[in-house]
A and B are shown apart, each in its own frame.
Chain A
């Protein structure tokens, strides 16, 4: 498997329901980020959680990080049709000052469809 793999690959829910997406990674990280991509568009940053944090909230978003299991989850509560998009987790390397420090390693993404 690759660094930053999400599951499920696709998720279809009704408006108002919660959506949970998971991400696993392999190497040590400095932080883990979630991005959203609407069809044919660029990526929009949603939330960042550092390696020493376990949970973070931002509006309807809740992110958890378990560094012992090398996994993270993104929860979107009370979903809306406008949340329909692809969601990607991305990890930033753990070597501060190293060449890998700036680049992000993305997973394959979860395609979320929210039906009105």
Chain B
């Protein structure tokens, strides 16, 4: 059973470009969570999605950020018009149930904005 997969692992964008981060949850997991980690800090919750639904987006910046988890395909975290402050590691996690139990994390996507 493959773990949570994220791609790309590293992404470099210039200011003003768009960044698309992909996450494929573990097989059988229908709950996906996105977290952001700034250097030397812990992870900050961004958004929690189930298939085709956003359950909790309380951690998402109000502008430029969006997330989706379509019926088919990976979950996508989209950042429009990136700025240098968006440079961070973005982690996706999945779980089989919305139970607040163990979450399985992907290796992360490291976004660098030049």
Binary contact track A28-59/B, C-beta < 8 Å → 1, others 0: 00110101000001111100100000000000
Q: Cβ of B104 and Cβ of A102 under 8 Å apart? A: no
Q: Chain A residues near B22: list those with CB within 8 A.
A: none
B31 and A102 form a contact (CB under 8 A): yes
> Is B107 located at the chain interface by the 8 A CB criterion?
yes
Query: Whole-angstrom distance from the CB of A46 to the nearest CB of chain B?
Result: 10
Interface contacts (Cβ under 8 Å), in number, total 73
Could you tell me if B91 and A104 are in contact, using CB atoms closer than 8 angstroms?
A: no
Binary A-proximity of B69-107 (CB < 8 A = 1, otherwise 0): 000000000000000000000010101001111111111
Interface of A is mostly: strand
Interface centre among A30, A41, A43, A96 (most CB of B within 10 A): A43
| Number of interface residues, chain A, beta carbon within 8 A | 27
A48 touches B102 (CB 8 A): yes
18 contacts between A and B (CB under 8 A): A41-B107, A41-B108, A42-B106, A42-B108, A43-B91, A43-B93, A43-B105, A44-B105, A45-B103, A88-B42, A99-B56, A100-B58, A102-B98, A105-B45, A106-B35, A106-B43, A106-B44, A108-B41
